[in-house]
């Protein structure tokens, strides 16, 4: 999506960023800007540095060299965390929490209300978020009783309740049943149409080429950054993966 008429501004901005956990770098000289309203997928083989790149973008790691900015601020100093909705692969904490879907989504309001009670307006935002992700009928169900796809929707609703305008998803459909995967990507697309910036780390190349407008292909270095249709016809994929990779059923 293009984010409609919303003024474009940099959400994520990496400038010549390098990082290593040890002396060997796992991200080397990465520069890229993601503007508000974009839908960008990061692809690359296992161990290519995708999660590390995401942590650098979100300020969870600091670059050894170069500069990482989030909403225009140095990423590690960024403190408006509710603007960023993060959905991880397993949503593992959810498995332990004996609370309902509505209670999870309510947590999205906490940064807005401090330790106070939620107002009627806050609760309406919670219920709107549940409706947006198609989970209104499951509001009172325990999060532990949901399918993988429903659980991911609940976590997106929590981000929406927090008024996130950047959604970062790290392989969000791992563990989601096949029938629910397309609907999940359709939800991301409609959120993006509403102006939310989407950054998707994804191993399913078919999903990437079907849904993301822009692809960043990584293997320590950025091999490709551009429109998805150009990516499909480029040799970046083969170079980054070091092997021939097909877009449907391949790539793993």
Can you give the binding site for ligand ADP, defined by CB under 6 A? 21, 26, 44, 46-52
Adjacency order of strands within the sheet including 27-35: 27-35, 10-19, 65-70, 73-74
Q: Which CB atom, from 125 or from 215, has the smaller least distance to ligand ADP?
A: 215
Residue 203 CB, shortest distance to ligand ADP, in Å, is 9
53 sits in which H/E element: helix 50-57
Tell me whether residue 3 or residue 49 sits nearer to ligand ADP (CB atom): 49
Of 36 and 51, which has the nearer Cβ to ligand ADP?
Answer: 51
Shortest Cβ distance from residue 171 to ligand ADP (Å)?
A: 9
Q: What is the DSSP letter of 118?
A: P
Least distance in Å: CB of 112 to ligand ADP?
Answer: 32
Residue 121 neighbours by CB distance under 10 Å: 10
Centroid of chain to Cα 113: 25
Q: In whole angstroms, how close is the CB of 242 to ligand ADP at the nearest point?
A: 14
Non-local CB neighbours of 154 within 8 Å, separated by 6+ positions? 94, 101, 104, 105, 133, 135, 138, 143, 146
Cβ closest to ligand ADP, residue 13 vs residue 170: 170
The residue (of 37 and 44) whose beta carbon lies closer to ligand ADP is 44
φ, ψ (nearest 5 deg) of residue 126: -60, -50
User: Which tokens hold the place of 18?
Assistant: 């390098």
Based on CB atoms, which residue is closest to ligand ADP, 2 or 18?
Answer: 18
Residues 6+ apart with CB under 8 A from 198: 38, 39, 40, 167, 169, 188, 191, 192, 212
Which of residues 53 and 176 has its CB atom nearest to ligand ADP in the complex? 53
For residue 176, report the phi and psi dihedrals to the nearest 5 degrees: -95, 130
The CB-of-40 to ligand ADP minimum distance in angstroms stands at 15
Closest CA to 58 of 26, 29, 87, 24: 87
CB of 58 to ligand ADP, least distance (A): 13
- Reported as type and span, the H/E element at residue 227 is strand 221-227
- Minimum Å gap between C-beta 76 and ligand ADP is 16
């Amino acid at each position: 999506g293009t984010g409609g008429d919303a003024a474009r501004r940099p959400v994520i901005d990496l400038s010549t960023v390098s990082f290593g956990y040890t002396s060997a770098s796992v991200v080397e000289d990465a520069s890229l800007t993601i503007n508000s309203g974009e839908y960008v997928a990061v692809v690359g083989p296992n161990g290519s540095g995708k999660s590390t790149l995401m942590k650098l973008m979100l300020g969870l790691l600091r670059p050894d060299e170069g500069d990482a900015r989030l909403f225009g601020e140095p990423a590690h100093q960024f403190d408006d965390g509710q603007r960023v909705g993060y959905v991880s692969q397993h949503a593992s904490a959810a498995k332990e929490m004996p609370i309902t879907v509505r209670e999870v989504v309510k947590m999205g309001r906490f940064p807005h209300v401090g330790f106070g009670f939620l107002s009627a307006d806050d609760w309406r935002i919670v219920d709107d978020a549940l409706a947006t992700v198609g989970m209104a009928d499951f509001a009172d169900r325990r999060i532990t009783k949901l399918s993988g796809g429903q659980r991911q929707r609940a976590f997106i609703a929590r981000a929406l309740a927090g008024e996130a305008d950047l959604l970062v998803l790290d392989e969000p459909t791992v563990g989601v049943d096949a029938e629910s995967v397309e609907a999940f990507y359709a939800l991301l697309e409609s959120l993006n149409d509403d102006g939310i910036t989407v950054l998707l780390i994804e191993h399913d190349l078919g999903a990437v080429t079907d849904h993301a407008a822009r692809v960043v292909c990584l293997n320590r270095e950025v091999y490709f950054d551009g429109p998805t249709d150009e990516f499909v016809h480029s040799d970046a994929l083969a170079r980054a993966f070091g092997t021939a990779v097909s877009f449907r059923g391949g790539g793993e």
